[in-house]
Structure 1
Amino acid sequence: MHFAYPPRKSSSPPPFRPRSSKAPLLRRSRLRTAALVLLTILGVLYLLSGTSGPDPYHEHVPSGHPSVVIVTVIDPATYSNAYLKTVQENRKQYAAKHGYETFIAKADDYETGGYQRSWSKVMAMRHALSKFPDCKYIWYLDQDAYIMEPSRSVEGQVLAPRTLESLMIRDYPVVPPDSIIKTFAHLRGEDAGLIISQDKDGLASGSMFVRNGDWAKFVTETWMDPVYRKYNFQKAERHVLEHIVQWHPTIFSRIALVPQRTMASYTHTQLGDGYQEGDFVAMFKGCSILGDNSCGEESRRYWEKFQQAMAAA
C-alpha cells in the first residue's frame, strides 16, 4: 500500500516580514483621544457645578453684637497705676451701662519692631477686630481721656446714620490747613468706615470709630504695614494715618470728618477745641508724666465729675 508523502518544505523560506504595528498604534491613539475627551467633559461639568453652587469664600458679616467695643492701650511705663485704674474703670462702667464691651491692652503686649510704642494702638485695634468679629464698631480712645457723659450712647452721640450725616464736615481738607484732598460731599452715614475729627495739628486719632468689616481689616493692616514704620514719620502712626487717608482712594472714600468736640475735646486748649461742660469726652493731651501738670493730677476733677454723672445716670 502506498502512502503519499506530504510535500516537502522549501529549503528557501520566504524572507521574514515583521507583523504590522499600525493596529496597536491606532488603538493607543484612540484611547488617548477618548481619555482627553472624557477629561474635558469632566472638567466642564466641574466648572458648571462650581458656578451654580455657593461661593466657597464668604466674608464674615458682623451681627452687631456687641454694637461697640471700646479699645484703649495703657502704658504703665508712662502713667501711674492709680491713674490707669481710673481710665479702665471709666471705660468699663460706661460700657456696662450701654451693653458695650471693652478691650484694654498694654503697650508692651505688642512687638513694634523697635519703633515708637504708640504703634501698639494700631495693633490693638486689629486685635480687637479679631477678638470681637461680630461687633459693629470699635471705638479707639487714648489712655489720656475720660468719657464724661455716661448717660449718652455713642449711637445717639455720633454713630446713628442720620446723626452722623448731620455732623459730617463735607468738602473740607482732610488734613488741615491746606490739603488738596477734601472730604466727600455725598458720603452717606451708613457708608462711613472711619469717623474721626481734627485738632490744630491734623487728624485727632486719639478718639475715633472704625466700622467692623473687611474694609476695617484692610485699613488697619495697611496702617500697620512695617514699610510705613520704616519711613520714620515724625509723629509715627498719626502721620502714617494722614498719609494713607490722603493717598489711598479705598481708604479716603469712607472717611467721615466730624467736629472735634463731638468726641475729642481737649483740656489743653492750645492744641485744639477746648473742653466745655457737657462735652462727651475730655482728653488730657499734652499733660506731663510727672508733677503738678501730670495726667493723674489734671484728671482728678474730671474723674470726680464722671463719678457724679454715673451716680445720676
Structure 2
Amino acid sequence: MSDRRRRGKSVVLDQSPSLVTTSSESSTFLQRRNPNRFRRFAVRQVAVVLLLLGAVVYFVTKYHVHTDSPAEVSYGSRHVVQVTNMHIVPSQFSGTSNSRDGLKKAPADKAGNLGSSELGTSRKASTFFHYLGEQSPELVVVSVVDDKLPREYTDKIIENRLEYCQTHNYGLLVKYASDFQKYVDGSVVKYPGWAKVAISTEAQFTFPNAKWFWLLDGNALIMDPSVDILHTVLDSERLNNEIIPGQSVLRERNQHIRFYKTNQPDEVVFVSAQNQIGVGTDSFVFRNTQIARAMIQTWGEPLYRTSDNLKTEQYALGHMLQWHPQFLLRSAIIPPKLLGTYAVQSEPDLTCSFDENDFVALFQCELSKEACKRAFLTQWNARKRAVPALKENAPQVARDKVQNKVQVEAQERAQEKAEKQKERDSA
C-alpha cells in the first residue's frame, strides 16, 4: 500500500509544473494555457508605436512647414511666433504716412501697403519671433528702443531703420527695452546696455539663415540710407584695408592687450567701431556662425553681468576679448566713420566726433533730456533720404522739417525760461 501511495504521489507531482522553472519553461507553459495572449500584446505594441509616429508627423507638419499664416509654438519657457515678414517691429509703431505718427512711404512700399497690422508684432516680454520667409536676408539690423520715450521719438527711430532695410532688402528686428527688463535687472547695476547682448542672441534665433547682424544703438540715426554696409564695410577687400591693427582693446585697462595684426577678414566674425574707451558697443556687426554665437552667449553670461568690476556691457566685452584669445583672434576694430560717430559725447574725442556726411550719428545721452532731444531732432532734419522716397514725399518732408524746426525752437525757449526761473528762485 505504501508503495502505491508513493507511486501515486510521484505520478501526481510529475504531471504538475515545477515551482522552480526557467523563463522558457514558464513562457511555454503560459502560451500553452493562453496561446492568443502574446499575439494581442504584440498588436497593442504596434498600435502604440503607430500612434506615436502619427503624433510626431502631425506636429512636424503643423509647426515646421511653411504656411502663409503665422504659427505659434514654444521654445522652452518662451513663446515663439513664426512670421513671414522680414521686418519685425513693435505693434505700437503706427506705420502711417505722417512722420509725426510713423513711416513715410519707402522704396519698397510704393503701393502704401505697410499698415501696422502687417508690420506690428504682438508685444510680449516672453515672445521670440522666428522668420520663415522664402527669402532670407543677408543682413539684419537689430535695435532696442526705449519705450519710455514719447511716441514721437520711438516712431522716428523705427522709421529710420525701416527705411534703410527696405532700401537694401535687409531684415529688421526692433524690440522695446521693457522686453528685456528681467535680463537687465540681473546685472549688478541694472545697466540698460545689457539689452543689446540679449537681443543679439535673440536675433540669431529669429533669423537663423542670415549671414550678418548689425546691432545699432536705439538712439542712433542712419544719416545716409544709400550706403550699403555689406559693400562699404563688410566686403573682404574693404575690411582688410580698414581694420586697425594693434589697437588696445580697452584704453583704460590693460592697454598692452591689443587686437592682432594678423587678423584675416574672412575669419573675422565680430567687427566693432572704435570709441573713446576702445571697442565700442553702440554699433557693431557679427556673423551668423558658431563661433559668433559662442562669443555672444559668453558675453551675456551672469558672471559678467554681476561683476562689480565690469558693470556695463562695453567693459564686459573688452574683458572677454582680453581673456579669450580665440575670440580676440576673430574680432576686429575699424574707424568710427564706417559704423557710427557721436553727435553728442559724454567724453569728447575728435576721432569719434560726427561730421557732415557721416554714415551714422550716435548719441551718448538720454533722449529724455531736452538737450539730447534738440540734438536728435537737428540730425533728424539733416539726414538724407532714399531717392525714391524723397521724390515721392518731397512736400511732406519739407513740412516735417519746418515742424521739427518749430519744435526745436519751442524746446529751446522752454529751456531758457526754465533756466531763468531757476536763477530767480536761487536769487
TM value normalised by structure 2: 0.55
Partners of 1:287 and 1:298 within 8 A in 2: no
Partner of residue 374, structure 2: 297
Partners of 1:68 and 1:139 within 8 A in 2: yes
Between the aligned partners of 1:88 and 1:154, the Cα distance in structure 2 is: 18
Between the aligned partners of 1:237 and 1:268, the Cα distance in structure 2 is: 20
Structure 1 stretches lacking a partner, 5+ long: 1-62
Partner of residue 343, structure 2: 267
Partner of residue 244, structure 2: 169
Partners of 2:248 and 2:278 within 8 A in 1: no
Alignment of 1:157-196 (within 5 A): 157-176=232-251, 179-196=255-272
Partners of 2:224 and 2:385 within 8 A in 1: no
Matched residue SS, 1:204: strand
Q: Any idea what the Cα deviations from partners look like across 1:112-148, whole Å, max 9, x if unmatched?
A: 1443232111010000001101111100000111011
Structure 1 range deviating more: 224-233 or 213-222 = 224-233
Partner of residue 17, structure 2: none
Between the aligned partners of 2:281 and 2:202, the Cα distance in structure 1 is: 17
Alignment of 1:89-128 (within 5 A): 89-110=159-180, 111-112=182-183, 113-115=185-187, 116=190, 117-128=192-203
Partner of residue 199, structure 1: 275
Between the aligned partners of 2:291 and 2:141, the Cα distance in structure 1 is: 19
Structure 1 range deviating more: 276-285 or 298-307 = 298-307
Between the aligned partners of 1:308 and 1:228, the Cα distance in structure 2 is: 40
Matched, 1:245 2:321: yes
Partner of residue 419, structure 2: none
Partner of residue 306, structure 1: 383
Q: Answer with 1 or 2: which has the greater Rg.
A: 1
Structure 2 stretches lacking a partner, 5+ long: 1-133, 392-427
Partner of residue 282, structure 1: 361
Q: Identify which of 192, 207, 217 aligns with 1:142.
A: 217
Partner of residue 147, structure 2: 76
Between the aligned partners of 1:205 and 1:150, the Cα distance in structure 2 is: 21
Partner of residue 231, structure 2: 156
TM value normalised by structure 1: 0.74
Matched residue SS, 1:267: strand
Partner of residue 292, structure 2: 216
Q: 1:189 to 1:65 in 2, by over 3 A?
A: farther
Partners of 1:204 and 1:264 within 8 A in 2: no
RMSD: 2.1
Between the aligned partners of 2:309 and 2:157, the Cα distance in structure 1 is: 28
Q: 1:99 to 1:92 in 2, by over 3 A?
A: same
Partners of 1:195 and 1:208 within 8 A in 2: yes
Once the two structures are TM-superposed, the CA of residue 301 in structure 1 deviates from its matched residue by 2.4
The count of residues paired between Structure 1 and Structure 2 equals 248
Once the two structures are TM-superposed, the CA of residue 288 in structure 1 deviates from its matched residue by 5.0
Structure 1 range deviating more: 237-246 or 104-113 = 104-113
Once the two structures are TM-superposed, the CA of residue 216 in structure 1 deviates from its matched residue by 1.4
Partner of residue 60, structure 1: none
Partner of residue 205, structure 2: 130
Once the two structures are TM-superposed, the CA of residue 312 in structure 1 deviates from its matched residue by 5.0
Between the aligned partners of 1:182 and 1:234, the Cα distance in structure 2 is: 18
Once the two structures are TM-superposed, the CA of residue 309 in structure 1 deviates from its matched residue by 5.3
Partners of 1:199 and 1:271 within 8 A in 2: no
Matched, 1:258 2:329: no
Between the aligned partners of 1:297 and 1:233, the Cα distance in structure 2 is: 34
Once the two structures are TM-superposed, the CA of residue 233 in structure 1 deviates from its matched residue by 3.8
Once the two structures are TM-superposed, the CA of residue 283 in structure 1 deviates from its matched residue by 0.6
Between the aligned partners of 2:333 and 2:284, the Cα distance in structure 1 is: 10
Structure 1 range deviating more: 224-233 or 160-169 = 224-233
Tell which has more relative contact order, 1 or 2 (C-alpha 8 A, sep 6+). 1
Partners of 1:71 and 1:140 within 8 A in 2: yes
AA aligned opposite 2:208? P
Q: 1:64 to 1:205 in 2, by over 3 A?
A: farther
The alignment-based identity, stated in percent, is 27
Once the two structures are TM-superposed, the CA of residue 192 in structure 1 deviates from its matched residue by 0.9
Between the aligned partners of 1:81 and 1:312, the Cα distance in structure 2 is: 23
Q: Any idea what the Cα deviations from partners look like across 1:133-168, whole Å, max 9, x if unmatched?
A: 111110000011101111110012210010111100
Alignment of 1:13-28 (within 5 A): none
Between the aligned partners of 1:179 and 1:125, the Cα distance in structure 2 is: 27
Partners of 2:236 and 2:266 within 8 A in 1: yes
Partners of 1:71 and 1:139 within 8 A in 2: yes
AA aligned opposite 1:98? H
AA aligned opposite 2:363? F
Q: Any idea what the Cα deviations from partners look like across 1:241-272, whole Å, max 9, x if unmatched?
A: 01001111121111111011211111125433
Matched, 1:66 2:137: yes
Between the aligned partners of 1:237 and 1:247, the Cα distance in structure 2 is: 15
Partners of 1:142 and 1:207 within 8 A in 2: yes
